[in-house]
Structure 1
Amino acid sequence: MSAAMIKEFRLPDLGEGLTESEILSWKVAVGDTVTLNQVIAEVETAKAVVELPSPFAGVVAALHEQPGTVVEVGKPIVSFEVDDAGSGSVNGVSAAPAAEAVGAPAKREPNLVGYGAVVEASGRPVRRQRAGEVPAEPVSAAALPAVAPVAAPVSAPVVGPADMSPAGERPRSTPPVRKLARDLGIDLGLLTGTGPGGLITRTDVQNFVDAGAAAATAVPAAAGVSGERETRTPIKGVRKFTAAAMVQSAFTAPHVTEFLTVDVTPTMELLARLKSSRAFEGFKLTPLTIAAKAVLVALRRNPTLNSRWDEAAQEIVQFNYVNLGIAAATPRGLTVPNIKDADRMSLLELSTALTELTDTARAGKTSPAELSGGTISITNIGVFGIDAGTPILNPGEAAIVALGSVRKAPWVHNDELAVRQVMSLSLSFDHRLVDGEQGSRFLADLGAILADPAMVMTMV
């Protein structure tokens, strides 16, 4: 007869080196019997809501964190009572391979959703050292890489020659930290590293972001204790990440915004014909669908708007693909998931991708991967009845297009005054990357397509 034993499940890194997540809700209670891969909790990272599957089959022995608690990666969140006969740990915290000996290099065992805490050969998790903190006891180099205060996925090297360049050259940091800095539009050369040997850590980047946000949005603290006349909500999760990213974008990239009002009556007529077409039966077609396709066509003639400014490398990165971001308002705040390789899609495929993207975003199920790697974005402010705006660039992108509402208005058509359907287009771009001429040509091409969809024939 097999004996029962207790297994701990530690919060894993849910992607891109994220250091913490908030427990939104538990799907199980103490005493519940769970199966392998059964969803046991919902957690929110800085980017998305993620479901956590169980790495064990057994009985829930304890829930270590309450909903609403922000938990660091590697900290125990739930314990299971499992059968000793099948107790091999997916999380890797409680059971280490028998072949490992004391003093063997620390390793990160895979689990179902990411990678957990670094584990010593003894099976004891290594405590994460905060930036500037002195360890309570010596930790061997084999147990904890000297330059990795934040655990990175095993697919990415912790450190390499490019990360260890001499002083005066490329700032020293790990690949996940450099990616975070790029996404937020931060020049690592402006930061002072607090990690070992001056290494720039994720905490250093976040502190820089927080300092910028505080300087831009500081207001006097309200006197007294909050009462019934006001409601206070903690700034965290998606809202905190979005706010920090927008502040950095506004204060890093020199924004320029241009406007163009277009007679889109031919586009709306085309949309009506497509909806009644048998080829598009069952597909959701909207002005956004046509506008998104028009943006992709205009980018072919104006590729500079599909690029990124790499401050650390002092390079302009030209993308030869388009990951089209679509700004989406969700109950947890603004997110900008993107459609990978949208430039390779037909109108039917783009319609399907847009429908799936918006449905997933509204349900709060967008994954971190869908929120990363965008190259240009669209925000459809027209759905709120807004005509035009000055959208802020998504960090790491050179341009964003705002689509205004389609309205009936008096318009000169064929030298006569007529009632037409018009739309205002707003284009914000990074003037470091895009000259005024290039931005204007892109906006003119986009407007020409929407004013006369047949113009696509002259552009492809």
Structure 2
Amino acid sequence: MKEIKVPDIGNFSDVNVIEVLVNVGDTIKIDDPLITLESDKASMDIPAPQGGVVEAIKIKVGDKVSEGSLILVLKDAGEPSLNVAAAEAQPKVGNAPAEATKPVAGIKEIKVPDIGNFKEVSVIEVLVHVGDVIKPEDSLITLESDKASMDIPSPKGGKVKEIKVAVGDKVSEGSLILLLEVEGAASDTPSTAPSPSTVSTSAPVAANTASTINDDDFRRAHASPSVRRIARELGIDLSKVKGTGLNGRITEQDVRGFQAGGSVVVSTPAPVVAAPAPTPSASTPAAPAPAANNMGGIQFITQPDWSKFGAVETVPMSRIGKLSAKHLHRAWLTVPQVTHFDEADITELEAYRSSLKDKAKAMGFNLTPLVFMMKAVVAGLKEFPKFNSALADDGENLIQRKFYNIGIAVDTPDGLVVPVIKDVDRKGLFELARELGDISKKAREGKLKSNDLQGGCFSISSLGGIGGTNFTPLVNAPEVGILGLTRAQERLMRKNGEIVDRLIQPLAVSYDHRVIDGAYAARFTAHLAFVLSDVRNLIL
């Protein structure tokens, strides 16, 4: 008999058991999932470290477990554990075993490649399973930082032998992702089809065994633990759901779309005698309002069945849209934000820009007003350095940046992204205009690299090409300030005793009130207006 315990699951403790994936009497193999755990940040499956027959299950749904908690008792079926199997596969010299960390012949360690300056990045999806045959450049995992998500492709083709990361893990460059049996290499013991689970006659049969859901097919479905949990709650057979995610992965939207189509598997537990439902009457209290649910740290209001009122369609959000939703919700909850409004007279600046437009066009790029705004922001950051700082993790210190990188919000078919223009203070207007055009084109074509989204000090969100009179942009944390721009307006004004036509640019500066106070923000915004009022002020 072998006691199977919860392995190292990082810094998680007292994690909820949301699913028990095996029954007493089941015959399991190495890497078969035993239970699903869910913390506030992630769901994860706990795999079997060795094969055998389940003799006793020591936990149930709703229990809280930590590293070392007993999961079940396993009757050894002669299949070595993962550590033993790996050790036995090592080449030996004489009677001395080789180092335990050295992979077996034909097995390659696939690690996280260079991902820029990102460190301790969360794994939000594992896109392959043990036994999958993959090709070079197939996506293995998806990582998510505060500003972007990225897929990590496989550098080689072959068969996945062992996965070393799970959803919720944090990885950096060099972290081990999986072991891969490379193409053309001798394989280990040929894989066999999983044996069907058997139920001991002395063990109680679970209530859902009469369901038409095939547990083996359900377990092998290409879906994350959280999606499988939702499918079980809704009684949906994942083997019948078509995945629209990467590599055919089943998403939550796929499951809910399948449910909306009416193809829901209904389990048939043993009949019970229940009291008849009360007949609604005038004295029956109204049903409570839809409760808020929490998915991925974001609270949504539970939706009613809109199909009762007319035709509906479930449209999956783009990846950028989903990332933006999480990031902006987190920023709104954690950053106390205030917006200060002002105006700048950009009549002379616009005249100067117009005089250079044709020259810039001949050089292959557009000289837009945004370039001048970037230079004005840098002038403001130098004069008011708190806007170029970040609040340290301890909440008691400021990290003062000595460089000037400006993030520019770009509208793309998939949603808003914020690429970063580096060293704006060191570049001229034409150089910035060319770079702005190039990076905006890359953003719209979905070709931005992780480095393009890193290192921003302050952001600009411009809606001038669309319209509007003003708005309150959200601070792009961990930055502490953002400038919002709408369309400039022609306005009659009194100047030097005369009524003149001037071009007025609305300015909206949102800021983190933990770092910036109102008076400081007002002076910063007034300085922006001063710099923009005369193009010569840009060189002060």
Q: What's the TM-score once normalised by structure 1's chain length? A: 0.58
Secondary structure (helix, strand or coil) at the match of 1:82 reads coil
State yes or no: 1:20 paired with 2:102. no
Q: Quote the offset at 1:401 in angstroms.
A: 0.3
The aligned residue for residue 357 of structure 1 is 439
User: 2-side partners of 1:365 and 1:317: how far apart?
Assistant: 31
Contact 2:360/2:366 (8 A) holds in 1:
no
The equivalent position to 1:261 in structure 2, one of 338, 343, 346, is 343
CA 1:80–1:225 in structure 2 vs 1: closer, same or farther (change >3 Å)? Answer: farther
CA 1:332–1:436 in structure 2 vs 1: closer, same or farther (change >3 Å)? Answer: same
Larger radius of gyration: 2
**What one-letter code is carried by the residue in structure 2 that aligns with 1:17?**
E
CA 1:51–1:314 in structure 2 vs 1: closer, same or farther (change >3 Å)? Answer: closer
CA 1:247–1:61 in structure 2 vs 1: closer, same or farther (change >3 Å)? Answer: closer
Structure 1 range deviating more: 330-339 or 262-271: 330-339
Secondary structure (helix, strand or coil) at the match of 1:384 reads coil
The aligned residue for residue 449 of structure 1 is 531
State yes or no: 1:337 paired with 2:419. yes
Structural mapping, 1:26-425, within 5 Å = 39-40=137-138, 45-46=143-144, 47-48=147-148, 55-56=155-156, 81-82=183-184, 210-211=296-297, 213-214=298-299, 218-223=300-305, 229-234=311-316, 237-277=319-359, 281-312=363-394, 314-425=396-507
The aligned residue for residue 101 of structure 1 is none
User: 1-side partners of 2:439 and 2:181: how far apart?
Assistant: 35
User: 2-side partners of 1:374 and 1:303: how far apart?
Assistant: 15
User: 2-side partners of 1:346 and 1:297: how far apart?
Assistant: 14
Q: Quote the offset at 1:274 in angstroms.
A: 1.9
What whole-Å deviation, never above 9, does each CA across 1:401-456 have from its counterpart, x for those lacking one? Answer: 01111233333344333333222111111122122222112111111222211233
Contact 1:448/1:455 (8 A) holds in 2:
yes
Contact 2:410/2:417 (8 A) holds in 1:
yes
CA 1:412–1:245 in structure 2 vs 1: closer, same or farther (change >3 Å)? Answer: same
Q: Number of residues paired by the alignment? A: 316
Secondary structure (helix, strand or coil) at the match of 2:506 reads strand
Structure 1 range deviating more: 314-323 or 13-22: 13-22
What whole-Å deviation, never above 9, does each CA across 1:96-130 have from its counterpart, x for those lacking one? Answer: xxxxxxxxxxxxxxxxxxxxxxxxxxxxxxxxxx9
Contact 2:148/2:323 (8 A) holds in 1:
no
CA 1:404–1:236 in structure 2 vs 1: closer, same or farther (change >3 Å)? Answer: closer
CA 1:40–1:415 in structure 2 vs 1: closer, same or farther (change >3 Å)? Answer: farther
Q: Quote the offset at 1:82 in angstroms.
A: 3.4
Q: Quote the offset at 1:383 in angstroms.
A: 1.8
User: 1-side partners of 2:477 and 2:525: how far apart?
Assistant: 21
Q: Quote the offset at 1:328 in angstroms.
A: 1.8
Secondary structure (helix, strand or coil) at the match of 1:400 reads strand
User: 2-side partners of 1:341 and 1:369: how far apart?
Assistant: 14
CA 1:240–1:50 in structure 2 vs 1: closer, same or farther (change >3 Å)? Answer: closer
What whole-Å deviation, never above 9, does each CA across 1:133-185 have from its counterpart, x for those lacking one? Answer: xxxxxxxxxxxxxxxxxxxxxxxxxxxxxxxxxxxxxxxxxxxxxxxxxxxxx
User: 1-side partners of 2:328 and 2:138: how far apart?
Assistant: 33
User: 2-side partners of 1:235 and 1:40: how far apart?
Assistant: 23
- RMSD over aligned Cα atoms: 4.2
CA 1:229–1:209 in structure 2 vs 1: closer, same or farther (change >3 Å)? Answer: closer
What whole-Å deviation, never above 9, does each CA across 1:8-51 have from its counterpart, x for those lacking one? Answer: 78684755333436699xxxxx89xx8xxx75559864354657
User: 2-side partners of 1:248 and 1:390: how far apart?
Assistant: 17
Contact 2:123/2:141 (8 A) holds in 1:
no
Contact 2:306/2:312 (8 A) holds in 1:
no
CA 1:54–1:42 in structure 2 vs 1: closer, same or farther (change >3 Å)? Answer: closer
User: 1-side partners of 2:112 and 2:409: how far apart?
Assistant: 28
CA 1:44–1:356 in structure 2 vs 1: closer, same or farther (change >3 Å)? Answer: farther
What whole-Å deviation, never above 9, does each CA across 1:84-103 have from its counterpart, x for those lacking one? Answer: 7xx9xxxxxxxxxxxxxxxx
User: 1-side partners of 2:360 and 2:301: how far apart?
Assistant: 57
**What one-letter code is carried by the residue in structure 2 that aligns with 1:431?**
H
Structure 2's unaligned 5+ residue stretches are 1-104, 128-132, 188-225, 227-292
CA 1:355–1:78 in structure 2 vs 1: closer, same or farther (change >3 Å)? Answer: farther
**What one-letter code is carried by the residue in structure 2 that aligns with 1:81?**
E
User: 2-side partners of 1:277 and 1:292: how far apart?
Assistant: 20
Higher relative contact order (Cα pairs below 8 Å, separated by 6+ residues):
1
Secondary structure (helix, strand or coil) at the match of 2:348 reads helix
User: 2-side partners of 1:412 and 1:230: how far apart?
Assistant: 55
Secondary structure (helix, strand or coil) at the match of 2:452 reads helix
Contact 2:375/2:538 (8 A) holds in 1:
no
Secondary structure (helix, strand or coil) at the match of 2:526 reads helix
Secondary structure (helix, strand or coil) at the match of 2:411 reads strand
Q: Quote the offset at 1:344 in angstroms.
A: 2.3
What whole-Å deviation, never above 9, does each CA across 1:207-257 have from its counterpart, x for those lacking one? Answer: 99944x31xxx3232227799723334567333332222222222222121
CA 1:440–1:280 in structure 2 vs 1: closer, same or farther (change >3 Å)? Answer: farther
**What one-letter code is carried by the residue in structure 2 that aligns with 1:20?**
V
What whole-Å deviation, never above 9, does each CA across 1:176-212 have from its counterpart, x for those lacking one? Answer: xxxxxxxxxxxxxxxxxxxxxxxxxxxxxxx99944x
CA 1:359–1:44 in structure 2 vs 1: closer, same or farther (change >3 Å)? Answer: farther
User: 2-side partners of 1:452 and 1:377: how far apart?
Assistant: 22
Contact 2:374/2:424 (8 A) holds in 1:
no
Q: What's the TM-score once normalised by structure 2's chain length? A: 0.50
State yes or no: 1:431 paired with 2:513. yes
